[in-house]
């Protein structure tokens, strides 16, 4: 079992499914691995022995569908039990898992399928129809979770009929393990690839931020399609021998979450700032959990008022953390290193700093770029391998031996990091990372839109929301009805969380001499009065 005090080491071969889950199954098989609850009240408790056996059968199903080592598998599932089975199943056979949110629309799915050259696509009722719309006459294998569907192989039936695949491949440290699509400032989402040793970096996440150990039960509210699920719904907890709670329901409302926290023995809550804001706004009343002892938040800065109200009601602090799709937790508040309103201090194992454009550390209280020192070999615990098929973009995030996160901060005299903002135009709303180009592309498809620019706009509930400045095409007049029509169009064209919650019709957009839109100017104008 991994030791929380162990210094960082990169083994020559590592496979999380074998070296963590199968090891737990062998040494403490009766320990709780997953507590799964659905909206109807069904509760399933799965121990590590059972989880390992489920992974063996999932691996057999994937192998039967023609998935081989190095193939990419798109997993478009919510919190179905199959998500954990299939993530582990991919690891066992050396396939590359590419999780995606169930909010993806046909164009998103089409892009991901072809960009990743996916061999297999897995979906349930929520998103399968959109897969069929996106991939007509496609030769990729399709696995349907939750019953049967014409043109799809039934995962459930194959799972029940499959013999266990005991074999687990020896994956090298740099063998691709995960492929996450993450939004950038320009172009389509980029593919951030992690190697087989990436899970080991989450020892830092588990022990120093989540504060987990054997017997704990962590509930992470984040969508399985995002890297946050890797942090707190998979690698972090199981590396520490803790259990994971999952609630599978169409939506999460604050009342249901608070009820479940009182009903089940959750010790650690991991939730985005939006959720904590919902909790305190709904009125915590007589909320009380006999087991909850540690609360964390990540995705965007959390305002002090919410932290104070939560502590008044629960007696618990909320420990903010900072990480990226490309990394594990880099900086966090934790017991013994906690200052409200900050990002915290760098987590043990990392040399995190604020640097200038020349790669020099800046002075105390001076603003600069947040960067991670990687050494000459550009390696650090949990750091991604690079952007798939895009060496130029991979190189663009390095400044010598510094990996530059794209966010800006200052460091105070005590060593705490204070978040300033992003160095690029990416919008962070309710924990979702949205590239303006994605929204602008969807807007442009509406006949009324001649040109647009998308930026972040301040919002008290979500931190930021998407706002679009739109120049109308000839023959169209600005109106509330047209704004709603455009919003609805974007909702149905791309993932609905990307739609512009605000639209402002304008006659011109600020541009550089070369014709590039100056989003920074629009963003600063938008935030100036708030």
Of the pLDDT bands very low, low, confident and very high (cuts 50, 70, 90), residue 1 is very low
Residue 68 has pLDDT above 80, yes or no: yes
Residue 63 CB neighbours (<10 A): 17
Distance CA(35)–CA(46), nearest Å, equals 6
pLDDT for 6 beyond 80:
no
The tens digit of pLDDT for each residue in 331-388 reads 999 999 999 889 999 999 899 999 999 999 999 999 999 999 999 999 999 999 999 9
Measured in degrees and rounded to the nearest 5, phi and psi for residue 3 equal -100, 130
CA distances from 3 to 28, 239, 268 (A): 16, 10, 20
Q: Which domains are present in the chain?
A: 12-197+220-249 (3.40.50.12780), 347-424 (2.30.38.10), 427-528 (3.30.300.30)
Neighbours of 420 (CB within 10 A): 16
| Percentage of the residues of the chain whose pLDDT score is greater than 90 | 75
| Percent of residues in the chain assigned helix, strand, coil, to nearest 5 | 30, 25, 40
263 CB-near residues (< 8 Å, 6+ apart): none
Kindly report the number of other CB atoms within 10 A of residue 311's CB atom: 14
Confidence of residue 4 (pLDDT cuts 50, 70, 90): very low
Inter-CA distances, 341 with 210, 300, 306, 355, 528, Å:
18, 11, 11, 21, 21
Question: Do 90 and 191 form a contact (C-beta atoms < 8 A)?
Answer: no
Residue 475 sits at φ, ψ, to 5 deg, of 95, -5
Q: What is the mean pLDDT of residues 433-450?
A: 86
User: What 3-state class would DSSP assign to 457?
Assistant: strand
CA distance linking residue 50 with residue 24, whole number of Å:
11
C-alpha–C-alpha distance, residues 164 and 520, integer Å = 55
Whether pLDDT at 437 is above 90: no
If you write DSSP's letter for every residue of 239-276 in order, what string do you get? Answer: HTT-EEEEEE-S---HHHHHHHHHHS---EEE--HHHH
CA dist list (Å): 25 to 1, 132, 133, 137, 160: 12, 38, 41, 41, 21
Q: Residue for token digits 């023959």?
A: 475
Q: What is the DSSP letter of 498?
A: G
**What is the structure's pLDDT at 513?**
57
Distance (Å, whole) CA 152 – CA 159: 14
Which residue in the block uniquely carries the two structure tokens 């039990």? 81
Higher-scoring residue by pLDDT: 7, 396: 396
CA distance 202 to 443: 38
At which residue do the structure tokens 């993450």 appear?
182
HSE-up of residue 59 (Cα within 13 Å, Cβ side): 23
pLDDT at position 428, please?
85
Nearest to 118 by CA among 135, 105, 103: 135
- As a whole number of angstroms, the distance between CA 327 and CA 427 comes to 19
Q: Confidence band (pLDDT; 50, 70, 90) for 185?
A: low
pLDDT at 512: 64
**b/e 207-216 (16+ beta carbons within 10 angstroms → b):** bbbbbbeeeb
pLDDT tens string 278-331? 888 777 878 889 999 999 998 877 777 789 889 999 999 999 999 999 999 999
> Which stretch of DSSP H or E encloses residue 503?
strand 502-505
Residue 260, both tokens:
């479940």
Contact 443, 500 (CB under 8 A): yes
Q: Tell me how far apart the alpha carbons of residues 208 and 506 are, in angstroms, rounded to a whole number.
A: 48
| Lowest mean per-residue pLDDT among 204-208, 465-469, 504-508, 525-529 | 525-529
In a 3-state reduction of DSSP, which class is residue 201? helix
Side-chain-side CA neighbours of 300 within 13 Å: the count stands at: 25
Mean local confidence (pLDDT), 252-271: 93
Tokens coding 308: 């104070």
Going by C-alpha positions, the residue among 285, 276, 264, 256 that lies closest to residue 219 is 264
pLDDT > 70: percent of the chain = 96
Please determine, for residue 216, whether its predicted confidence score (pLDDT) is greater than 90: yes
CA–CA gap between residue 484 and residue 398 (Å, rounded):
41
Contacts of 382 (CB under 8 A, 6+ apart): 194, 198, 200, 201, 202, 204, 205, 327, 328
Structure tokens at 19: 């070296």
């Amino acid at each position: 079992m991994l030791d929380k005090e162990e210094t960082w080491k990169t083994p020559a071969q590592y496979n999380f499914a074998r070296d963590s889950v199968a090891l737990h199954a062998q040494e403490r098989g009766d320990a709780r691995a997953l507590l799964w609850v659905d909206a109807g009240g069904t509760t399933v408790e799965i121990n590590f022995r059972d989880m390992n056996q489920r992974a063996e059968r999932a691996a057999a199903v994937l192998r039967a569908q023609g998935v081989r080592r190095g193939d990419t598998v798109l997993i478009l599932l919510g919190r179905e039990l199959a998500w954990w089975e299939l993530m582990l199943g991919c690891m066992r056979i050396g396939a590359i898992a590419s999780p995606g949110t169930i909010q993806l629309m046909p164009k998103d799915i089409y892009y991901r399928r072809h960009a990743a050259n996916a061999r297999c696509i897995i979906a349930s009722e929520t998103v399968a129809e959109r897969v069929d719309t996106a991939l007509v006459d496609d030769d990729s294998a399709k696995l349907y979770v939750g019953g049967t569907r014409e043109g799809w192989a039934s995962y459930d039936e194959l799972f029940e009929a499959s013999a266990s695949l005991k074999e687990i491949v020896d994956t090298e440290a740099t063998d691709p393990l995960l492929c996450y699509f993450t939004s950038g400032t320009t172009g389509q989402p980029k593919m951030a690839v992690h190697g087989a040793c990436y899970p080991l970096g989450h020892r830092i996440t588990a022990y120093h931020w989540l504060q987990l150990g054997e017997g704990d039960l962590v509930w992470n509210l984040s969508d399985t399609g995002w890297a946050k699920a890797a942090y707190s719904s998979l690698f972090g907890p199981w590396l520490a021998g803790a259990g994971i709670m999952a609630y599978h329901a169409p939506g999460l409302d604050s009342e249901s979450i608070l009820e479940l926290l009182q009903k089940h023995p959750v010790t650690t809550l991991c939730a985005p700032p939006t959720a904590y804001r919902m909790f305190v706004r709904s009125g915590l009343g007589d909320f009380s959990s006999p087991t909850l002892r540690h609360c964390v938040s990540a995705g965007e800065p959390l305002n002090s008022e919410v932290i104070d109200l939560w502590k008044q009601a629960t007696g618990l602090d909320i420990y903010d953390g900072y990480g990226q799709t490309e990394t594990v937790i880099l900086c966090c508040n934790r017991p013994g290193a906690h200052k409200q309103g900050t990002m915290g201090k760098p987590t043990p194992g990392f040399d995190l700093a604020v640097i200038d454009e020349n790669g020099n550390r800046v002075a105390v209280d001076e603003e600069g770029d947040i960067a991670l020192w990687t050494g000459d070999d550009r390696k650090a615990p949990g750091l991604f391998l690079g952007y798939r098929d895009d060496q130029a973009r991979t190189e663009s995030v390095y400044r010598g031996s510094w990996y530059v996160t794209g966010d800006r901060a200052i460091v105070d005299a005590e060593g705490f990091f204070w978040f300033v903002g992003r160095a690029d135009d990416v919008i962070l709303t309710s924990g979702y990372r949205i590239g303006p180009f994605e929204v602008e592309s969807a807007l442009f498809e509406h006949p009324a839109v001649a040109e647009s620019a998308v930026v972040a706009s301040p919002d008290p509930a979500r931190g930021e929301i998407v706002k679009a400045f739109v120049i109308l095409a000839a023959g169209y007049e600005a109106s509330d009805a047209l704004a709603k029509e455009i919003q609805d169009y974007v909702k149905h064209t791309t993932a609905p969380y990307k739609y512009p919650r605000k639209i402002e019709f304008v006659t011109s957009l600020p541009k550089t001499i070369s014709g590039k839109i100056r989003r920074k100017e629009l963003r600063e104008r938008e935030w100036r009065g708030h």
